[in-house]
Each structure stands twice: as structure tokens, then as C-alpha cells.
Amino acid sequence: MDWLDEIITRLFSKNRNLNRTLFLYLFIGIIITVIATSLTYSICVGWERLILDDTQPLEGYFNIFSWQVPSVIPENIEFHIMILEIIKGFSPIIYGVLAVFLITKLFYKQRILQPLKIVEHSIQQIKKGNYNQPFFFNTYDEFEGTVRGLDSLSQTLRSKEVDLSELHQEQKKINAAFSHDLRTPLAIIQNNIELMEELYHQGRMTEAFFNKSVTKIQSSVNRLVDFSQTMQEIQKIDEMPLKKTQQSLTHIEAHLRELGKTLSEKKLFVQTDYHPELKVNYDIHLIDEVMENLLSNASRFAVKEIEITMQVDEKFLCIFVKDDGKGFSKKELEIATDPYYSHNKESHFGLGLTISEILAKKHGGALKLSNSVDGGAIVTSIFSLE
């Protein structure tokens, strides 16, 4: 019966639903029943006329339905005529029941059972964590919508899995950096305590040495407190909700110019490459925090000026922060966004670029580091506007 399903597919190639499909199946079943009944009537009438030796021609094919057996027939052929009449009488019922049975079975197999198996298979694949296998079922009915929904769910789960994996790797990187940088202040505290204890037992502890050791220990303790606070800050960033609203980009531009007033002995130039009345979706607070971090970082290395360029490229906002300093070294281009990286760990723990990168990714973008051809560092922050 695959030919029947092919005919139905061609008749209703789109915008189908199960109600229409079932009606079409039943309609075709009725047509088949009528055709089979007509053929049966034709054969039975032919046999009856042959048995009765009726040679008078029938005018028209449909006259077979109005043809009647004579009221008086010979006894020797009465049984045969009765059998043929019974076949004629019950053929519509028999063919109708068979058609309903076969049509219902075909409809269930092709339109119910098959998509249910696909849905069940899709659910099993999702349970196993296999989100890479696409799910398709092109029938233009309610089941196709269900399968497409499962496919969309699978893609969403795969995207979430990738995000969680990236977040896990980011957290591992932060934890590794934290553990690595934690060793230095702990080692300083331990060495000074051991040395103070040894000199005390030897009676060689002087006030000057004691004060010097206490100062080193206190400095290391302060660094540990700073480490703890920065870790809490990063944790808060991970939990920060993303709230995009449609608004003009002039809010960011105004915030940048306001920040430029706080720079001491550094000039800030802001350039824009978009229509002033353009409105897009973005989180103003998140982008402002990124700009504050990048501008603070650029001001430490800039000699005289900082240039900021804002561009809207299709569905992304790109903000370039360029300073006129010496730029990034080859090593810094690779690891400058690592937590706690900096030139001088005694005064700065290098979290500005790290936090900016995390926030940019949270906004569906990224953070890129590069050097200008005429000198100076360029930090490009990209934010998704979708």
C-alpha cells in the first residue's frame, strides 16, 4: 500500500494535519470500495445473465445496478443465482469493512506509529546526551512540529552543554591561576614565621627584624584578602543576569565620554560608525562595566591618548580601545586575559581583562587582543545584539 501513501503525499504536500490526512485516507478507501463493489456487481450480473441465458444487451455500464433477476427461475439454477445475489448484497459491506480496516491500519502505521518511533528514538538520544544527531520528519502535520521541537530542544541542550563546558574550563583556568598565585604569599608567610621562630629561640630576634617580618606577613595577608575578594567578584559576574533592552548606542558613548573626564593627563577620543538614531538590544550595565575595565587598563599603559571606536557590524557591536603605549608582547597576546596576570603583581592582579572577557562572552561576544601597526595595544570587545 505504499503507492497509496505516495498518492496522498502528492495530494497534500504541505499544510497538512492529521484530521485532513485521515479524511483523505477514508475518502480514498470509499472510492476503492465503490470501484470494487462495481466490479463485483458487474461480474455477478454477467454470471447471472450467462446462467439465465439472457442475451439481451444492457445499454450502459451502470445499468448493471438496476438489472433484476427474473421472479421465476428454474430450480436447477436457483441455488447459483442465490449465491450470486448474496455476494452482490454483501459486497459493499465486506469491501467497506476491509477498506476501513486496511486504511486505519495504514494510517496508524504511516502517520502515527512511524512518527512515534522517531519521537521515542529522539528522546532516547537526548537522554543519552547525544545532541549532535538531527531529527527530521517531513509530513507537514502535528508530529512534524513535535519532532522539530525535539530537534530544537536538542540543539538548545547542545548549546547549553558547550556553554557549561566553556564555563567549566574558564573556572578551571581561574582556579589554577588562583592556586598558582596563592603559593607566593603563603610561602612568604611561612618562611618569615619559621625564621622568626628560629631567631627567637636563639635569642637573636631584634626589633627591626621583627617589624620587617611582620610587615612582610601583613602584606602577604592583604594579598590573600584581595585574592578572596576578587574570586567573590568573579563568582558574582557568573551569577549576574543578562538583561537586554532596545535602546540607542548614545548611552554607551555618553558613558565613555564621562569616563574620559576622570583620566589624569590622558586624552580620550571617541569615534562612532553607526546612525545616531539606531536602536539595538544590549545590556547597558554589562557593557559599561566592560568599558570601565578596558579604559582603566588602557590608561595605565597609554602615554598621552586613548582612542575608542564604536561600530555596528550586522548583529554585533564592536568597540575598539586603542592606546599609544608600547602594545602587547607576543606572550601577552596569548595570556593577558588569564586571571591575575599583570606586569606587576604587587600592585595589580590583572583581573580587568579577565572580567571583560567573561562579560563579553556572557553578552554572546568575545574579547580580542592585538597591536596597532603604528604602535600601541588594541582591545576589541564584541557584543551580540540579538
pLDDT for res 323: 92
- Of these ranges, 3-12, 129-138, 184-193, the one predicted with the greatest mean pLDDT is 184-193
Question: How far is Cα 298 from Cα 306, in angstroms, rounded to an integer?
Answer: 7
Query: Among 210-214, 261-265, 358-362, whose mean pLDDT is lowest?
Result: 261-265
DSSP secondary structure, 42-75, as one string: HHHHHHHHHHTT--PPPSSGGGGGT----SS--H
**Mean residue pLDDT across the chain:** 79
pLDDT for res 135: 63
Distances 85 to 38, 40, 91, 312 between C-alpha atoms, Å? 14, 11, 10, 84
pLDDT for res 349: 40
Closest alpha carbon to 263 in 309, 312, 324:
324
Over pLDDT 70: what percentage of the chain? 80
pLDDT for res 368: 92
Half-sphere exposure of 248 (CA within 13 A, CB side): 10
Q: What are phi and psi of 312, to 5 degrees?
A: -110, 115
pLDDT for res 345: 46
pLDDT for res 348: 44
Per-residue pLDDT, averaged over 218-233, amounts to 75
Strand ranges for 250-376 from DSSP E: 267-273, 279-282, 305-313, 316-323, 366-371
Are 51 and 80 spatial neighbours (Cβ–Cβ below 8 Å)?
yes
CA torsion through residues 326, 233, 334, 272, sign: negative
- Reply yes or no on whether the pLDDT at 97 is more than 80: yes
- Reply yes or no on whether the pLDDT at 255 is more than 50: yes
Three cell numbers at 241? 543576569
Query: Among 55-64, 145-154, 291-300, whose mean pLDDT is lowest?
Result: 55-64
Q: Which top CATH class is 163-239?
A: mainly alpha
Per-residue pLDDT, averaged over 128-136, amounts to 68
Are 186 and 217 spatial neighbours (Cβ–Cβ below 8 Å)?
no
Residues 6+ apart with CB under 8 A from 303: 323, 324, 325
Over pLDDT 90: what percentage of the chain? 12
- Please identify which residue in the block is written with the cell numbers 502528492: 10
What DSSP designation does 344 have?
-
pLDDT for res 311: 93
Distances 124 to 118, 130, 135, 154 between C-alpha atoms, Å? 10, 9, 12, 11
pLDDT for res 340: 58
pLDDT for res 203: 80
- In the three-class reduction of DSSP (H, G, I as helix; E, B as strand; rest coil), residue 238 is classed as helix
- Reply yes or no on whether the pLDDT at 384 is more than 70: yes
What DSSP designation does 111 have?
I
Query: With b meaning 16 or more CB within 10 Å and e meaning fewer, what string describes 11-42?
Result: ebeeebbeeebeebbeebbeebbeebbbebbe
Are 178 and 227 spatial neighbours (Cβ–Cβ below 8 Å)?
yes
The residue ranges of every structural domain in the chain are 2-128, 163-239, 245-384
Q: Which amino acid is at 198?
A: E
Three cell numbers at 68? 433484476
Neighbours of 253 (CB within 10 A): 17
Q: Which one is predicted more confidently, 248 or 185?
A: 248
Question: How far is Cα 336 from Cα 319, in angstroms, rounded to an integer?
Answer: 18
CA angle, 141 then 143 then 149, to 5°: 115
Per-residue pLDDT, averaged over 340-368, amounts to 72
User: What are residue 271's DSSP bridge partners?
Assistant: 309
Question: How far is Cα 17 from Cα 267, in angstroms, rounded to an integer?
Answer: 66
Per-residue pLDDT, averaged over 183-207, amounts to 82
| Fold of the CATH domain 245-384 | Heat Shock Protein 90 (3.30.565)
Quick one: which H or E segment has residue 384?
strand 377-384
54-76 per-position pLDDT tens digit: 767 766 666 677 677 777 777 77
